[in-house]
């Protein structure tokens, strides 16, 4: 049965109706050898060059050769070619940047032929600014999910690297790609992830951050349970440990799940260094995080409530430096941290050149003036500055740590050591009960996993990490036989 001329016109009319008031929508009517057909596409979204080269020119040449008999897939070259088996499929294909070819004599169940001519011109795969390394690859993801998937395939050239495509967001129709290795992946985590993605009811998902909000464990998590990176090498390494990568079109940040606490302390460059140095640096990172979070609150708890436990010399020195102060130590530290957080935010949002100038003005001039004016004492300035600098060492926890630190400052300042202890214990209890896609958040040390500890604070040589961490993958897979 052949589609009648009127039906063809109605179909075209329907599609035209859907795309009405879209100035960038193009329905190009072509006629070769007395046969009319339409090519529907969105200008700019579909590549004009690809359209001409792989669709129009081959069809034209076929007519000129006199061999205009179809099937069309034999004529249209390059890219992808598929059949739209429904009105929605046809419409979505156009919206995704493909070209839809509609003939008057198509079979009734076919709404058009989809030619993949999407304009994939995007940003180059430059090194991400947030995850710099001295030794290691210098490429990074860009905003194309398909392109990012290719970057991962270049690193894991195996048919076992599976990928599944989803479309999320009723308006944005954001393409989301899941990538994992079938034999290594944590099956429980995979089914949980798919379930959570399927449960998303939203009209718009612009960035991977929005997807992260929907899929993370718990409704109000302060610390992340979904990892993210802009580095293909890092994401590939995580996939090889049994994790799942979630690539969201339009975002250079790729999500990885499950995510456990100790991942925040790991940097991809660690694996390119001597294990001794990597262990040393990781221990430093851990110590710095502890200091960044706990130092101001503990200092405040001791100085405001339990002065007797501090060394006499320290108390005398503090009394000397604070003799002209008009505000309490608690408010002094809170003020200092608020000023610092404002400066940090300004430094981030301003253009680079201005941002650095603001940083200099803020940290040096404002700090110096605050001390001279008696608003902040030098001792407090040292504590705040040291804690703030330490917080930068671990990027994934920088923001949650800043909030947690504020909380500890408040309870330490107002309730002393027990208030501080209570919040720490409650946080530890919450963290201990937390899991990321079924994997305990504090693994590999709670619950204890000997294999996992080889890549925690202490980093064993790569050849000694014989198994894929069972704490993540839940499997007992050997990845190396060791060193001969």
**Residue 209: other Cβ atoms inside 10 A:** 14
Convert residues 428-447 into a mask of x (bound to another protein by CB under 8 A) and - (unbound). xxxxxx------x-xx-xxx
Residue 212, token pair as written in the block: 């992260």
For another protein, the binding residues in 284-343 under the rule CB under 8 A are 302, 305-306, 309
The four Cα atoms 152, 153, 154, 156 give a dihedral, to 10 degrees, of 90
Nearest to another protein of 204, 432 (CB atom): 432
Cα separation, 196 vs 162, in Å, equals: 19
Taking contact as CB under 8 A, which single stretch among the options 94-102, 139-147, 384-392, 420-428 is the one that binds another protein? 420-428
The nearest distance, CB 233 to another protein, in angstroms, is: 26
CB of 24 to another protein, least distance (A): 52
Give the closest residue to 263 by CA, choosing from 294, 291, 242: 242
> Quick check: 482 binds another protein (CB under 8 A)?
no
Q: Which residues between 185 and 224 bind another protein (CB under 8 A)?
A: none
Tokens in use for 55?
């669709």
Those residues whose C-beta lies under 8 Å from the C-beta of residue 351, and which sit 6 or more positions away, are none
Q: Which is nearer to another protein, 43 or 450 (CB)?
A: 450
Under rule CB under 8 A, residue 113 binds another protein: no
**Which residues does residue 25 pair with via DSSP β-bridges, in sequence order?**
42
Closest distance to another protein from the beta carbon of 439 (Å): 8
Instruction: List all residues 6 or more positions away from 364 whose beta carbon is below 8 Å from its beta carbon.
Output: none
Distance CA 110, CA 86 (A): 7
Instruction: Give whichever of 302 and 381 is closer to another protein, judged by the CB atom.
Output: 302
> How far apart are CB 42 and another protein at their closest, in Å?
48
Distance of alpha carbon 446 from alpha carbon 440, whole angstroms: 8
Nearer to another protein, 85 or 450 (CB): 450
Does 112 sit near another protein (CB under 8 A)? no
Contact flag: residue 414 with another protein (CB under 8 A): no
Spatial separation of the C-alpha atoms in residues 447 and 261, rounded to whole Å: 13
Q: List strands edge to edge, sheet with 99-102.
A: 25-32, 35-42, 99-102, 112-115, 81-84
Q: Is 98 near another protein (CB under 8 A)?
A: no
Q: How far is the CB of 447 from another protein (least distance, A)?
A: 6
Work out how close the CB of 437 gets to another protein at its nearest, in angstroms, rounded to a whole number.
Answer: 13
Residue closer to another protein by CB (options 110, 417) is 417
Q: Is there binding between residue 470 and another protein (CB under 8 A)?
A: yes
- Per CB under 8 A, which region of 88-96, 211-219, 270-278, 463-471 contacts another protein? 463-471
Nearest residue (CB) to another protein, 34 versus 311: 311
Instruction: Output the CA angle 265-278-472, nearest 5 degrees.
Output: 45
**Total number of residues that touch another protein (CB under 8 A):** 33
Residues 6+ apart with CB under 8 A from 157: none
Judged by CB under 8 A, the residue of 137, 359, 416, 461 near another protein is: 416
Polymer length of the chain: 484
Strand partners of residue 27: 40
Q: Is 43 in the site for another protein (CB under 8 A)?
A: no
> And the tokens for 334?
């809170």
> What whole-number distance in Å separates Cα of residue 161 and Cα of residue 152?
9
Position 417 contacts another protein (CB under 8 A):
yes
In the complex, least distance from residue 360 CB atom to another protein, rounded to whole angstroms:
37
The rounded distance, in Å, linking the Cα atoms of 152 and 477 is 21
User: Which residue in the set 425, 458, 463, 464 belongs to the binding site for another protein (CB under 8 A)?
Assistant: 425
Question: Alpha-carbon distance 149 to 201, whole Å?
Answer: 25
Interface with another protein, residue 476, by CB under 8 A: yes
448 binds another protein (CB under 8 A): yes
Q: Which residues bind another protein (CB under 8 A)?
A: 302, 305-306, 309, 416-418, 421-422, 425-426, 428-433, 440, 442-443, 445-451, 467, 470-471, 474-476
């Amino acid at each position: 049965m052949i589609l009648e001329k009127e039906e063809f016109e109605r179909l075209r009319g329907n599609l035209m109706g859907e795309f009405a008031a879209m100035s960038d929508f193009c329905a190009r009517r072509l006629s070769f050898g007395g046969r009319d057909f339409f090519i529907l596409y969105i200008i700019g979204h579909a590549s004009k060059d690809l359209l001409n080269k792989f669709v129009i020119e081959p069809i034209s040449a076929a007519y000129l050769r006199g061999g205009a008999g179809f099937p069309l897939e034999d004529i249209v070259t390059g890219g992808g070619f598929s059949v739209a088996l429904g009105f929605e499929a046809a419409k979505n294909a156009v919206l995704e940047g493909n070209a839809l070819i509609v003939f008057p004599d198509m079979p009734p169940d076919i709404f058009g032929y989809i030619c993949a001519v999407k304009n994939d011109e995007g940003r180059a795969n430059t090194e991400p600014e947030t995850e710099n390394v001295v030794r290691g690859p210098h490429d990074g993801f860009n905003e194309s999910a398909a392109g990012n998937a290719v970057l991962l395939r270049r690193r894991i050239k195996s048919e076992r690297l599976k990928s599944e495509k989803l479309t999320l967001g009723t308006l944005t129709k954001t393409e989301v790609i899941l990538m994992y290795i079938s034999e290594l992946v944590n099956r429980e985590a995979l089914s949980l992830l798919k379930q959570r993605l399927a449960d998303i009811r939203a009209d718009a998902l612009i960035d991977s951050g929005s997807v992260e909000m929907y899929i993370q464990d718990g409704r109000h998590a302060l610390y992340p349970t979904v990892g993210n990176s802009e580095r293909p090498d890092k994401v590939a390494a995580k996939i090889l440990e049994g994790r799942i990568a979630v690539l969201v079109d339009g975002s250079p940040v790729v999500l990885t799940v499950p995510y456990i606490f100790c991942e925040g302390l790991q940097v991809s460059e660690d694996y390119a260094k001597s294990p001794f140095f990597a262990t040393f640096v990781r221990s430093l990172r851990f110590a710095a995080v502890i200091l960044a979070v706990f130092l101001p609150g503990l200092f405040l708890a001791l100085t405001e409530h339990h002065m007797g436990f501090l060394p006499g010399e320290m108390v005398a020195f503090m009394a000397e430096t604070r003799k002209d102060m008009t505000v309490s130590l608690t408010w002094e530290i809170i003020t200092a941290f608020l000023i610092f957080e404002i400066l940090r935010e300004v430094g981030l949002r301003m253009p680079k050149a201005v941002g650095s100038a603001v940083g200099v003005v803020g940290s040096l001039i404002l700090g110096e003036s605050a001390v001279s004016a008696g608003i902040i004492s030098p001792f407090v300035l040292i504590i705040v500055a040291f804690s703030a600098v330490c917080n930068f060492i671990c990027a994934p926890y920088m923001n949650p740590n800043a909030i947690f630190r504020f909380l500890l400052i408040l309870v330490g300042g107002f309730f002393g050591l027990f208030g501080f202890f209570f919040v720490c214990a409650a946080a530890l209890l919450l963290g201990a009960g937390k899991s990321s896609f079924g994997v305990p958040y504090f693994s590999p040390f709670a619950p204890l996993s000997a294999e996992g500890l080889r890549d925690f604070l202490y980093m064993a040589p790569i050849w000694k990490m014989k198994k894929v961490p069972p704490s993540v993958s839940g499997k007992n897979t050997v990845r190396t036989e060791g060193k001969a």
